[in-house]
Structure 1
Amino acid sequence: MRQTFTIRDKIKQLWTIFIPILITQLAMFSMSFFDIMMTGKYSADHLAGVAVGSSYWVPINTGLSGILLSVTPIVAHLIGANKKEKVPFSVLQGVYAGIAMALFIIVIGFFVLNPLLNGMNLDNEVRKVAKYYLISLSFGIVPLFVYNVLRSFIDALGKTRVTMIVTLSSLPINVTLNYILIFGKLGFPELGGIGAGIASAITYWIITFIAVWIIHRKKPFIDYKIFHSFPTISFNKWKEIFSLGVPIGLSIFIETSIFSAVTLFMSDFGTKVIAAHQAALNFSSFIYMIPLSISMALTILVGFESGAKRNKDARLYSYLGIGGGIILSLITGTLLFIFRGNIAFLYSNDLDVVDLITKFLLFGVFFQLSDAILAPIQGALRGYKDVNVTFIMALISFWVIGLPLGYVLATITELGPFGYWLGLIAGLAIGAMTLSSRLIYVQRKQIRIQKSELA
């Protein structure tokens, strides 16, 4: 990553960082997709068990991993401020914090897993698969959280292509392990959905060892000497990591858990509506990888420029990212509108379900347009280390405005289940407008601070 002087150079650097992040996110999305798909080929009960386990694991994983994303702006600021000697300490404290969080989750899971599953109306086989799928995953939580910290460090240097290669290499490993352990190949027993959990845990260990090896042996990472010494735990540094990371993690948790809540409400409308909603949501999540990747790229670039006190450059990157997100969303939105019927047939051959998916995807067009504005703004604000307001607005947008409005539209109007999507679209739009104002405020504040320091 380097200082840029022209808009053309900034667009090129933004694009260079964004594309590998996008490929990485799509690869990670595909890993979950293959878990579900391959387990579904094995058994409906095992698919249900994995689905139940995932419904607990995904919000927790994304929320807590989001806390560790704070390492990215912390390191980006240090590099921008030319304080590279402080980077190893911050990264290792992030690793320590990640290990502590992972162990905490494992201990909590030991006490609450059985009561949670026993409290659900599940068949014995489904409950068994869900339980041991989650237990299997737990053996990979520590390396997964460590990898999230190491990835944040690598990305903060602008070397997003490295994490792309690591993640892409993990995809065939995960698929191969799934095949062996789910279906019992090469002499291994048939484990079904439980095998998918074991495969994921092994994959987490492998990608973590690969990341450690790269950081320890390859330039420019070797220059930072991350693993040359191991300082003691610094709770002051942990305070910085968590003060930035907790609002980020909570924002992500709020955004992911809202869809679980909507799915529960959808149960009033029947099985076909739930299936169509889940299919449309799955494809919308796939498209969301684009603005999410722009958001992550902006956190890196804005953090780098803000740390170097180049506020004009940081502001320009923000606008380029938001503008790029809008342009890409117009393209994907148009394609989604045109081909939504074809997309629906990818998920089902039931004509009633296909019709419902097509209607949900029409709302998905407007959903992703709002996301294309909101996500990049969130990324830019994280680059400025401004995270608390982002969390508050995510809470208000989804839970105070989106879900209640959706419930009202779904129950007292003829919109039915589509009312929930319209409510979330409204919440997203309001969140985008308020956070736009916040971004302008933060940027002006940065300029005022810089002027006062020069005076």
Structure 2
Amino acid sequence: MNLSKYTSEFKNNLKLATPIMMGSLGHLLVGLIDDIMVGRLGAIELAATSLGNSMFFIAVSIGLGFSFAITPLVAEADGEKDTEKGRSIFQHGLILTAIIGISMFVLLLFLKPILYHLDQPEEVVVLAIPYYEIVAISMIPLMIFQGFKQFTDGLSETKYAMWATILTNIVNITLNFVLIYGFWIFPRLELVGAALGTLISRIVMVFFIYFVLMKRKKFAIYLKRLKLSEFKNKIFKKIMKLGFPTSLQMLFEVGLFTASVLLAGTLGAFPQAANQVALKLASTTFMVAVGVGVAATIRVGNQKGLKNYVELRRIAFSNFLLILIIMFTFSIGFMVFKDVLPLMFTDNLEVIKMASSLLIIAGLFQLSDGLQAVILGGLRGLQDVNVPSGLTFIAYWIIGFPVCYYLGRTAGFGTFGIWIGLLTALTSSALMLFLRFNFLTNKLIKEKNGIT
């Protein structure tokens, strides 16, 4: 096999992916900073943010899934050089993301009583509730931002969202410092301070990206408001048809990881805190995979618009190879530094010991986790979402969750057993999604060449 035909695309892939990686890491860093700063308050407080965020991330997964539909549609329009089509998709998409943000906020408030019935330590739940209530509000600005972000990503202009998230983290770190611990005229609010920092920083993020795009000539045609008569139900339906299965894909995966948090919580506050440490570190490397996955979505979507399926397949496989190389590096890093990385979050020796063992499994599933994320990105570029949704459900809930539950609770392996289940789920997902992508692209090439 001639690897150079794939490695030659690494530069173009990384040019698109790097700002997305940085932006995705920036989003994650908002929560990571909360955990590191809150972790200094104690293991109980760290477990409380874990519980509060577990429900929030389920809502986020639904919202992000819908917003991800904007990128391949805009990328396809960009490949076709149809700016009016791109403008229409963007503005319909922005309205949808705003509605979804408000809906998810209301849903989170409605679901709040569930936190009392998840068999979690009482002291953890008491601290988690006020944190959860404030972070839930941030769902609204977060989803409005996603509307802008997925649009600019679709135009291959990935740096603007990165700038916005860098600013967000500067604001978040500053507010966390003064509001969690108390400084000068600001009171010590601890977990509530962390939540307020997150909310305010996400509001700043929306205003920043809007004003940046307003100042750029390229976006003028897209920001020109649609007349009421230009809004079409069929475009809303098209975005939702692509977005709903995508949100299910994310819900199945995030739901499994949330279940791991809740399962760990039934084992006690320390296992839950250890689970949160390992989960945050694994999520950090996953954001790199998200960046390469979006690059795959954009480039595959462009080639789909051009109907160049041979090139589409080559570019997609170059992204698959790239993420395998990157995630292999992370895998080695997790295993080598498994005893050091947890020290960023806590000085509790019991939590550190448990988290260290989990990082061995996290290191093992880096390859499959990264690969399945990028293949999903390629499939989104093809606008193939229904079958992948079914495959991810099978991988995470028919295969993965029973293994998590059996090894974690029944067999008595604790958090280590739960993470063996996560490894099983991610590996199953990567294998099935690759077979799907390989089948589809071969089929498209044969159909274009008149081969039945």
- State if a TM-score over 0.5 links the two structures: yes
Match of 1:103 in 2: 102
TM-aligned CA distance change 1:391 to 1:356, over 3 Å: same
1:121 to partner: Cα distance: 7.1
Shift of 1:125: 8.4
Q: For residues 353-378 of structure 1, give each alpha carbon's deviation from its aligned partner in whole angstroms, at most 9, with x where no partner exists.
A: 44433322222222112113211111
State the partner residue of 2:84: 85
Q: Could you say if the C-alpha distance between residues 36 and 392 of structure 1 is closer, same or farther in structure 2, counting changes exceeding 3 Å?
A: same
Give the Cα–Cα distance (whole angstroms) in 1 for the partners of residues 48 and 276 of structure 2: 17
**CA RMSD after TM alignment:** 2.9
1:89–1:303 CA distance, 2 compared to 1 (3 A)? same
Q: Where do residues 51-450 of structure 1 align in structure 2 (5 Å cutoff)?
A: 51-113=50-112, 115-119=113-117, 130-185=128-183, 187-222=185-220, 224-231=221-228, 233-267=231-265, 269-410=267-408, 417-450=415-448
Change (3 A) 1:122 1:431: closer
What letter matches 2:23 in structure 1? T
Task: Give CA deviations for 1:414-451 in whole Å, capped at 9, x if unaligned.
Answer: 85543332232222222222111110121123224434
Distance of 1:288 and 1:156 partners within structure 2: 21
Report the counterpart of residue 15 of structure 2 in structure 1. Answer: 16
Q: CA offset at residue 82 of structure 1?
A: 1.8
- Consecutive unaligned residues of structure 2, counting only runs of 5 or more, are none
Opposite residue 259 of structure 1, the aligned amino acid is F
Quote the residue 2:29 is aligned against.
30
Q: Structure 1: how far apart are the matches of 2:42 and 2:152? A: 39
SS at match of 1:317: helix
Distance 2:334 2:139 in 1: 36
Q: CA, structure 1 residues 450+318, in 2 after alignment: closer, same or farther (shift >3 Å)?
A: same
Question: Whose RCO is larger (CA < 8 A, sep 6+)?
Answer: 2
Residues 254-263 or 121-130, more deviating: 121-130
Q: 1:334 to 1:199 in 2, by over 3 A?
A: closer
2:303 maps to a residue whose letter is E
Q: 1:105 to 1:321 in 2, by over 3 A?
A: same
Following the alignment from structure 2 to structure 1, what is the Cα–Cα distance between the partners of residues 119 and 11?
53
Q: Which residue of 2 aligns with 1:3?
A: none
8 Å CA contact 1:35, 1:196 repeated in 2: yes
Aligned residues: 447
Asked if the contact 1:82–1:308 (Cα under 8 Å) also holds between the matched residues in 2, the reply is no
Q: Give the aligned residue type for 1:108.
A: L
Name the TM-score, length of structure 2 as normaliser: 0.89
Deviates more, 1:282-291 or 1:90-99: 282-291
* Cα 1:361/1:107, change in 2 over 3 Å: closer
- Residues of 2 paired with 1:50 and 1:414: CA distance? 26
Q: 1:344 to 1:95 in 2, by over 3 A?
A: closer
Change (3 A) 1:211 1:412: closer
**1:88-130, CA deviations, whole angstroms, 9 ceiling, x for partnerless residues?**
11111111111221222333345443x3345467899866654
Equivalent AA in structure 1 for residue 355 of structure 2: I
Cα distance between partner residues in 2 of 1:428 and 1:123:
29
> Is there any run of 5+ residues in structure 1 with no aligned partner, and where?
1-5
1:154-210 deviations in Å (ceiling 9; x for gaps): 111111122111211111112222233334545344433223333222222221112
2-structure distance, mates of 1:268, 1:142: 31
Q: Distance in 1 between matches of 2:66 and 2:125?
A: 30
Cα displacement (A) at 1:383: 0.7
Change (3 A) 1:219 1:105: same
- Alpha-carbon distance in structure 2 between the residues aligned to 1:135 and 1:355: 32
Distance 1:142 1:274 in 2: 28
Give the 3-state SS of the residue equivalent to 1:398 in structure 2.
helix
| 8 Å CA contact retained: 1:311, 1:447 | yes
Counterpart-to-counterpart distance in 1, 2:357 and 2:120: 31
Q: What residue identity is the alignment partner of 2:250? A: I
Partner of 1:187: helix, strand, or coil? coil
Q: SS in structure 2 opposite 1:341?
A: coil
Counterpart contact for 2:43–2:348, Cα < 8 Å:
no
Supply the AA of the counterpart residue of 1:24: G
Q: Deviations over 1:286-314 (max 9, x none)?
A: 22222222111111111111112121221
Corresponding residue SS for 1:340: coil
Would the aligned equivalents of 2:13 and 2:295 in 1 still touch at CA under 8 Å? Answer: yes
**Secondary structure in 1 aligned to 2:9?**
helix
Taking structure 1 as reference, are residues 346 and 217 closer, same or farther at Cα in structure 2, changes over 3 Å only? closer
C-alpha spacing 1:83/1:196, structure 2 compared with 1 (3 Å): same
Partner Cα separation in structure 1 for residue 359 and residue 179 of structure 2: 35
Aligned-partner residue type, residue 37 of structure 2: M
Residues 390-409 of structure 1 show CA distances to partners (whole Å, capped at 9, x for unaligned) of 21111111110012133334
**Any conservation in 2 of the 1:216–1:227 contact (CA below 8 Å)?**
no
State the 1:150 CA deviation. Answer: 0.5
Contact 1:214–1:221, Cα closer than 8 Å, also in 2: no
- Kindly indicate whether the alpha-carbon contact (under 8 Å) linking 1:393 and 1:435 is maintained by their aligned counterparts in 2: yes
Identity of aligned residues (%): 26
